[in-house]
Amino acid sequence: MKNEEYGIGKVWMFLLLAGYISTLLSCSATSFLSKQGKLKPAHDCHVHIMSPTLIADWKAMGIPFSRPDHYYADIDSIIKNVGTSTIDLIAMAHVYTSEEFYQGSDGPEKLAKENDYVLSMAAIYPRKVRPFISVDPLRHDAIGELKRCYAVNNNIGLKMHNSASQIYLTVPAHVERVKSVFMAAAEMGIPVLMHFDNWHPKFGARDLNILVDSILAHAKPMVLTIPHFGTSGGFSQKTKDFLDGFIALRQQGKIPGKHKIYLDISAVALDKDSEGVTKLNDAEFAELKGYITKIGAQHIVFGTDYPLYTPFVYAEILRGRVGLKPRTVKQLMKPKG
């Protein structure tokens, strides 16, 4: 596969990640939810944490951080800012095997240390925080790492990032590696969060078909969440194409009913540009509402991609800009899986 085929996507994702760090929350936004005190977001399925080491490594690469380190690294600060009853705390350890984000030769060791950090932070609040460790199916012993973390905490989830790890399900060798990781996770009852968009120009329905036919069909019943409604944030034609493909497969009964599959709405309803991803206009917010109805709130999970947003601010966007009824927002925010 030629480099230039995914070059733009890689650069874009780098900017997006940087954007998540530097374009921070509009905390001034008031929320009807908080005023009423009724619709306190119950669960945030997509909250990032970074260790002080990862922050230092990225600062050394010139990535700007607009807040003090504790905002990204300290579990007490994160819990206070997020404010939900429960949190899925998502590791970014997989960046250490991506040459775009780390050039050292000790990537797998750094990856394991980053996972250890996330596990140690989650261990402080075991009933509130479920850690999602992250692996790279192609560049290290991902199953070994999964088992190592599971031995520390059997309430973990697993994050994979198809863009950062350059996973192309159209490549049979990649399917085999990803499938083996899925099978291991399903065997251990570990939920999977897979950033599915790999930024290949032809990414879309064909990747989804391979996921369903070659991986999900063979795995034991499992919980799979696909963030950002299938793409990488915002609500573009690519997002709509993915959702159309997903809805069609479901209508045709092709998605194995044994699994629980959710779409995570984090970073979709953007009310601000996030370096490289355009915010939605009014027509797009309305169109997004139509898609949420088509998918069904019971199949969607609420996430913020913190530090991108906090739950109160994002819930207010879903109500005020997307136009969802409060009870629909509440349904999205219920813990599932």
User: Minimum distance between the CB of residue 266 and Zn ion, rounded to whole angstroms?
Assistant: 7
User: Minimum distance between the CB of residue 286 and Zn ion, rounded to whole angstroms?
Assistant: 25
- Measured from the CB atom, the residue of 89 and 315 that comes closer to Zn ion is 89
The strands making up 300-301's β-sheet, listed across from edge to edge, are 43-48, 86-90, 129-134, 157-161, 192-195, 223-226, 260-264, 300-301
Contacting range for Zn ion; rule: CB under 5 A; set: 81-89, 125-133, 180-188, 302-310: 302-310
| 40 within 8 A of 84, measured Cβ to Cβ | yes
- Measured from the CB atom, the residue of 197 and 305 that comes closer to Zn ion is 305
User: Minimum distance between the CB of residue 308 and Zn ion, rounded to whole angstroms?
Assistant: 8
Give the residue among 81, 78, 80 at the shortest CA–CA distance from 117: 78
Q: State which of residues 305, 312, 319, 330 lies at the interface with Zn ion (CB under 5 A).
A: 305
Compute how many residues bind Zn ion; rule: CB under 5 A.
1
* 193, 273, 284 from 277: Cα distances, Å: 21, 6, 14
- The tokens of 85 are what? 């009853």
Q: How many helices (H) and strands (E) does the chain have?
A: 13, 8
- Measured from the CB atom, the residue of 88 and 305 that comes closer to Zn ion is 305
**Is residue 264 involved in binding Zn ion (CB under 5 A)?**
no
Pairing of strands 260-264, 223-226: parallel
Contacting range for Zn ion; rule: CB under 5 A; set: 108-116, 244-252, 275-283, 300-308: 300-308
- Measured from the CB atom, the residue of 213 and 275 that comes closer to Zn ion is 275
* 146, 182, 290, 310 from 279: Cα distances, Å: 36, 33, 18, 17
- Measured from the CB atom, the residue of 31 and 266 that comes closer to Zn ion is 266
**Is residue 88 involved in binding Zn ion (CB under 5 A)?**
no
- Measured from the CB atom, the residue of 45 and 185 that comes closer to Zn ion is 45
Q: Backbone phi, then psi, for 174, in 5-degree steps? A: -70, -40
Which residues of this protein are in contact with Zn ion, per CB under 5 A?
A: 305
